[in-house]
Amino acid sequence: ETGVTQTPRHLVMGMTNKKSLKCEQHLGHNAMYWYKQSAKKPLELMFVYSLEERVENNSVPSRFSPECPNSSHLFLHLHTLQPEDSALYLCASSPMGGGGEQYFGPGTRLTVT
Amino acid sequence: QKEVEQDPGPLSVPEGAIVSLNCTYSNSAFQYFMWYRQYSRKGPELLMYTYSSGNKEDGRFTAQVDKSSKYISLFIRDSQPSDSATYLCAMIGTSGSRLTFGEGTQLTVNP
Cβ contacts of B44 on chain A, cutoff 8 Å: 43, 90, 104
What is the least distance, in Å, from the CA of A40 to any CA of chain B? 7
Which residues from B are below 8 Å from A40, CB to CB?
8, 103
Contact B97, A94 (CB under 8 A): yes
A99/B96 Cβ within 8 A: yes
In this predicted structure, what is the pLDDT of residue A96?
Answer: 73
Task: Say whether pLDDT at A12 is over 80.
Answer: yes
Using DSSP's 3-state secondary structure scheme, residue A39 falls into: coil
Query: What does the pLDDT average to over A100-109?
Result: 93
Mutate to test the interface with A, among B35, B52, B97 (most CBs of A within 10 A): B97
Report which secondary-structure segment, H or E, holds B13: strand B11-14
pLDDT at B43 exceeding the cut of 70: yes
Q: Looking at the predicted structure, is the pLDDT value of residue A87 above 90?
A: yes
Phi, psi of A8, rounded to the nearest 5 degrees? -75, 170
Residue B55's pLDDT is 92
A27-81 pLDDT, tens per residue? 999 899 999 999 888 999 999 998 777 777 778 999 999 999 999 999 999 999 9
| Cross-chain Cβ contact B101/A55 below 8 Å | no
Q: pLDDT higher for B7 or A23?
A: A23
- CB contact under 8 Å between B102 and A42, yes or no, is yes
How far is the first Cα of chain B from the last one, in angstroms, to the nearest whole number? 38
Q: For every residue of B20-41, which 3-state class applies, written as one string? A: EEEEEECCCCEEEEEEEEECCC
